Structure 1
Amino acid sequence: MPVVRYEPDAERHIAVITIDRPEARNAVNQEVAERIEEAIDDVEARDELWVTILTGTPPVFCSGADLKEVARGNVKSLWTEKGGFAGLVRRERTKPLIAAVDGPALAGGTEILLACDLVVASETATFGIPEVRRSLVAAGGGLFRLGRRIPFAIAMEWALTGDSYPATRAAELGLVNEVTAEGKALEGATALAERITVNAPVAVQLSRSVMLEGTWADESEGWARSREAGRVVSRTNDFTEGLTAFAEKRPPRWTGS
C-alpha cells in the first residue's frame, strides 16, 4: 500500500497530497519523504495545477520523524537532497501549499506546516516542537521558522518547554489561518484553495514570491522585487485577459501563460 496518496485535479487546478501511515501516526520515513518530493515535482511541472494541499490520514496530521528509523541511525533517510526533511522543508517551490491539519502536528509535523504557505486546522489539531523531551533538536526548520510566524517570546517558549498547543491558540498567534470543526480541515483547505484558484496563477505565484522574499528584506529590496514581479506579470497573456474581462464585465478565463 502507498504511504503517500497523490491526487491531482487538473480541472479544479488543485492537487492533494495525503500522508497515509495512520498505523504509525503518519510519521515520516524514507518512502514518505521520497513520495512527497515526487508529488511536489509533478505539481511544479504541470501548468494546470495551481495550488497544493498537504494533509494526513486522520486522526493525526503527522507525528514527525519515525523515531524507530532515528533509533536505527537512519536519520538521513528521512531527508531528500532536494527537499530536506519529509522531502519538503527545504524545497524551493513556486506554487502555494496549504496544510490541512486534523489532529496532532507535532515535532516534524509542525516543521512540515511551517514549510507551507497557509494552514487550515480542525479544532482537534495540536502543534508543538517537543524534540527537547527526547534530547533532540527541531532540525527541520522549526527553531528559526517558528519565530517568524508567531511572536518570538512565544516561539522560544514552545522550543524550550516542548509543550503542545491547541488550534485555537495557534490561530490566536497567527500560525493558523482558519480553524474548522473536527474532520473538516481538508474541506476548509479546499475552500481556501478555490479562493486562490479564481485568480491569475502567475500573478499568485509572483505575489507569493515577493511576500516570502521581501517581508524580511529592507524596503529597497522589497520595491525592486515588486517592480520586477510587475514587469513579469505584464508580459503574460493573463494580464491582457484580466483587463479585458474587467472591461467586458465577465469572469476571466486564465490560462497560466
Structure 2
Amino acid sequence: MSDTPSPVRTERNGAILLVTLDRPKANAIDLTTSRIMGEVFRDFRDDPDLRVAILTAAGEKFFCPGWDLKAAAEGDAVDGDYGVGGFGGLQELRDMNKPVIAAVNGIACGGGLELALSADMILAAEHATFALPEIRSGTVADAASIKLPKRIPYHIAMELLLTGRWFGADEALRWGLVNEFLPADRLMERAWELARLLESGPPLVYAAIKEIVRDAEGARFQDTMNRITRRQLRSVDVLYSSEDQLEGARAFAEKRDPVWKGR
C-alpha cells in the first residue's frame, strides 16, 4: 500500500461535498490526478445524499496551472486517458445535474481555468490571476476555445485565446467570467454560504435546469422548448412527476417553506 497522500481530498458536510485539489507544489494535474477527480465527481453525481459540490485547491498561490508539463515530459501522454470525466473530472462528465461551485484561490491558467469554467459558479480570491497561455507553447486551449466565446464577449475571448495574456479577478468579474471576487480570507466562507443556500433548494429543479441548459446550447430555442413540453428530457420528466413539485405548490398555498426530498 502506498503512503503517498491522495492528490484530491474530499470532505462531506451535510449534502455538500468539498473537493480540494492538493498536489504540491502547484496543483498541476497529471493523468492519475485527473482520473481520481473523475471518480470523485462521478460518485458525487450518483450519490442521492449529496446535492452541491465546492471545488477548490490547497495553498494560497495556485488554484491550478492545468496540465502537469513535467509529468508529460516523463511520458504522461497529453492525449491520454483522462478518466471518466475527461480532464479534471468535470469537463466531459455526462449528466452532471448537480451544482458545482469553483472557489479559485490563486493562479488559474490553461487547463486550470478550463477546470473552473466547468463549474456552474465561480468565486475568486482578490489575488487570483487567470490566463490561457497555451498559444505560447504551440498548442491550443481546446475546451476554452469552445466555452469562452459563449461566456464572455467574443472579441475579449478571442483576445485572451490569441494572446495568452494574464488578467486579474477584477477584470474577470468585469467580463462576467466570475460571479464574485473576495478577500482571500473570505473566499471559502462565501463558498460555503452559497453552497448551503443551494443545499436548501430543490435538487430536481436544479437537475432540470442543468439538463435544459446543456440541451439548449446546441439547439434552436423552439426545439428545446418542444422537448421540455413533450417531457423528452429525463430530468424534466422526473420533476413533473415528482413529490417535490407537489410539495412546492402545497408550500406556496400554505405559506410555509417547502421541504424538498429529491423525489
Give TM-score, length-normalised by structure 1: 0.92
- Are the equivalent residues in 2 in contact too, given 1:65–1:78 (CA < 8 A)? no
Alpha-carbon distance, 1:69 to partner: 1.2
Q: Which SS does the other structure have where 1:217 is aligned?
A: coil
Quick check: 1:124 aligned with 2:124? no
Query: In structure 2, what is the equivalent of residue 176 of structure 1?
Result: 178
Q: Sequence identity of aligned pairs in percent?
A: 36
User: What secondary structure sits across from 1:75 in the alignment?
Assistant: coil
Partner of 2:138: 135
Deviation at 1:17, TM superposition (A): 0.6
Given residue 108 of structure 2, which amino acid in structure 1 is its aligned partner?
A
Answer whether contact 2:251 2:258 (CA < 8 A) is retained.
Answer: yes
The amino acid that maps onto 1:172 is R
CA distance in 1, matches of 2:109, 2:208: 31
Question: Structure 1 residue 78: deviation in Å?
Answer: 6.4
Q: What letter corresponds to residue 140 of structure 2 in structure 1?
A: V
1:234 matched to 2:236? The reply is: no
- Equivalent residue for 2:56? 55
Map 1:61-210 → 2, pairs under 5 A: 61-76=63-78, 79-92=81-94, 93-139=96-142, 141-210=143-212
Given that 2:244 and 2:261 are in contact with CA atoms closer than 8 Å, whether structure 1 keeps it comes out as yes
Deviation at 1:42, TM superposition (A): 1.4
* Displacement after TM superposition at 1:64 (Å): 0.7
Q: Secondary structure at the match of 2:112?
A: helix
* Structure 2 Cα separation of the partners of residues 74 and 43 of structure 1: 27
Report the secondary structure of 1:61's partner residue: strand
Give the superposition deviation at 1:177. Answer: 0.9
Residue 30 of structure 1 is matched in structure 2 by 31
Cα deviation, 1:68-123, whole Å, max 9, x if unaligned, reads 01222313486424211122211121211111101111111001011111111111
Question: What corresponds to 2:8 in structure 1?
Answer: 4
Conservation of the 8 A alpha-carbon contact between 2:28 and 2:67: yes
The 1-side partners of 2:101 and 2:260 are apart by 21
How far apart are residue 44 of structure 1 and its match? 1.3
* Partner SS for 2:259: coil
Using the TM superposition, give the Cα deviation of residue 167 of structure 1 relative to its aligned residue in structure 2, in angstroms. 0.8
Question: Over aligned residues, Cα RMSD in angstroms?
Answer: 1.8
What is the deviation of 1:195? Answer: 2.2
Question: Which residue of structure 2 aligns with residue 249 of structure 1?
Answer: 255
Count of aligned pairs: 253
Inter-partner Cα distance in structure 1 for 2:131 and 2:227: 33
Measure, in 2, the Cα distance between the counterparts of 1:47 and 1:28: 28
Structure 1 residues 176 and 241, CA, compared in 2 at 3 Å: closer, same or farther? same
The AA in structure 1 aligned to 2:10 is Y
Distance in 1 of aligned mates of 2:80 and 2:68? 8
The CA distance in 1 between the partners of 2:90 and 2:67, in whole Å, is: 13
Deviation at 1:30, TM superposition (A): 2.4
Kept in 2, the 8 Å contact 1:151–1:173? The answer is yes
Separation in 2, partners of 1:77, 1:87: 15
In structure 2, the residue corresponding to 1:6 is in which secondary structure?
strand
Q: Quote how far apart the aligned CAs of 1:211 are.
A: 2.0
Structure 1 residues 70, 43: closer, same or farther in 2, change over 3 A?
Answer: same
* 1:15-56 deviation digits (Å, cap 9, x = unpaired): 1110011x3210001232122111112111211111111111
